[in-house]
A and B are shown apart, each in its own frame.
Chain A
Amino acid sequence: MDAVDVAVRLLAVLLSFLVLPLLVGQTEHKVMAHMQGRVGPMHAGGFHGWAQLVADGVKFAQKEDIVPEGADRRVFQLAPALALIPYLLVLVAIPVAPGGGVVQVLDAGIFFVLAVMGVGILGSLMGGWASANKFSLLGGLRTAAQLLAYELPMLLAAASVTMAAGTLSLPGILGVWEWWWLPWQAVGAVVFFTAGLAELQRPPFDAPVADSEIIFGAYTEYTGLRFALFLLAEYAGIVVLSALTAVLFLGGWHGPFADGLGWLWMLLKTGVLAFGVIWLRVSYPRLREDQIQRLAWTALVPLALFQIALTGVVKVVM
């Protein structure tokens, strides 16, 4: 890998980091609207309001950047960056095509991805604490409780796949993937995706940001660009979670003509999962805080343990 190659790959990561979350955001506008019998944004940019999010970005950039008087200034200002950057780093390790279609092959790639994603939550916690606002503090508390509850089933589900593949590297897992892993790892896939949704605080697990109860939780006091960064982190999180679920459980670039069209399969699977994330937002009401905790500890953790046992049994028998 020479310098030009590295530069091109990093540029591709940066571009997809800038484009894909916006694409998901615009899809969310339109899909939600049509599911609710509306048309959504129609004016910005002309064709079906395609430039709505660009316009939103310009609006956010023009707003005044306000730091509350009682806030802890430096922590408050640092929080959005800490929430966003981990998702950019994670993209580096996700394989999109066979034969070197990944920016950096990591020996323990799956641990890298999960570890760095966990760091992003610190941004919400810092923002929630540093805002000097009751609602923000409540939001931060709920974020932390949710992370602690859902990190475990997510890790266990991911561990099941690594057991099945016998490697911790993401391209390595795809290298040995077979179609019958779909039914074999189905329970783990559901657990992983659900736990991921909860870590991203997407509906129905959006109690930490519940706008009608605690006014967007940790982000209450944020305006302008910093608020936009938090929003961007949420959509980047959707992209990363969908891509990761596709790689671990749906076979990533596997599909007909994978040699040439592998990246398209990967993109398609990621897109379908992202659509599912949006669909869930429109169709499920918000879970209460105790329901969120109960789901994690009484449903997802036992299911993940069952999946690990199943993986072990099949692995030994075969």
Chain B
Amino acid sequence: MNALAHSAATHAAADHHGFLSPSGVEIVFVLVGLVTLGAALATVTTKQLVHAALWLVVALGGVAVEYLLLTAEFIAWVQVLIYVGSVVVLILFGLMLTRAPIGRSPDADSGNRWAALAVSVAAAATLVTVVVDAFRATWIDLADPAGPGSGSSEVTGTALFRHWVLPFEALSVLLLAALVGAIVLSRRDGDRDLPPARTRAGER
């Protein structure tokens, strides 16, 4: 009953909004989206390894701004915290630890360029179709933080722990498995007194 009323409300809201008279937020949304797209393209096309990581910061930050414009404040800050603050730092750490030349890296080119393009276009097409189909008639009332479609922490938390608990828990088990796997892979048996070269060869 409630859901029906909600969907009726969103449809009514959708009737009020037209695509031809965009509001300020919508214009900003499109502009930030273009910047994000550009940064993402720069990430995969730049010939300099570290620049790719830095363009990734711009792209991920742009996505965070989009979340913010969609009123999903919590998701936006988590995006910045996890992706910009940790994942990119980890990438930079790995690059600096192994190789981080200043200037072009001729070996940074991959022969799989066209296959990668095909995969990414297919993935993007799938995602765009799904998202457009799912949220075509949904409008967010920017003035109402608890209304339908809003992304405040309370609404997000309720949705996550009331309707999506099972996927959430499955994901945590997956991450735990990854953690244990990483520890097993990087572990050296300290009690066996092997020379370093053999230890490395004996690792699984």
Contact = CB atoms under 8 A, between A and B. Distances in A.
Interface of A: 70-72, 75, 106-108, 111-112, 114-116, 118-119, 121-122, 125-126, 128-130, 132, 137, 140-141, 144-145, 147-148, 151, 155, 168
Contact of B80 (A70, A119, A128): A119
Contacts of A151: 85-86
Contacts of B48: 72
B29 interface: no
Given A106-B73, A128-B96, A141-B97, A111 B81 contact: yes
A129 B78 contact: no
Contacts of A168: 74, 153
B80 A140 contact: no
B88 interface: yes
B148 to A, nearest CB: 17
B85 A121 contact: yes
Contact of A129 (B77, B81, B100): B100
A110 to B, nearest CB: 9
Given A111-B81, A129-B100, A147 B89 contact: yes
B142 interface: no
A118 B84 contact: yes
Contacts of B39: none
B200 to A, nearest CB: 21
Given A107-B152, A122-B89, A145-B93, A115 B80 contact: yes
B9 to A, nearest CB: 22
A128 B54 CA distance: 14
Contacts of B78: 111, 115
Given A119-B80, A148-B86, A137 B74 contact: no
B80 A116 contact: yes
B80 A129 contact: no
B77 A141 contact: no
Contact of A119 (B85, B103, B153): B85
B153 A121 contact: no
A108 B77 contact: yes
A71 B100 CA distance: 12
Given A118-B85, A119-B84, A108 B96 contact: no
Contact of A148 (B54, B89, B96): B89
B92 interface: yes
B57 interface: yes
Please provide the 3 A-B residue pairs with the shortest distance between their CB atoms, ordered closest to farther: A118-B85, A111-B77, A115-B81
B93 A144 contact: yes
Contact of B92 (A72, A107, A111, A144): A144
A141 B97 CA distance: 7
B100 A148 contact: no
A114 B77 CA distance: 9
B77 A112 contact: yes
B73 to A, nearest CB: 5
Interface in B70-118: 73-74, 77-78, 80-81, 84-86, 88-90, 92-93, 96-97, 100, 102-103
Given A148-B90, A151-B86, A137 B100 contact: yes
Contacts of B51: 75
Given A125-B89, A129-B92, 8 more contacts: A107-B145, A107-B153, A122-B84, A122-B89, A137-B96, A140-B92, A141-B97, A148-B89
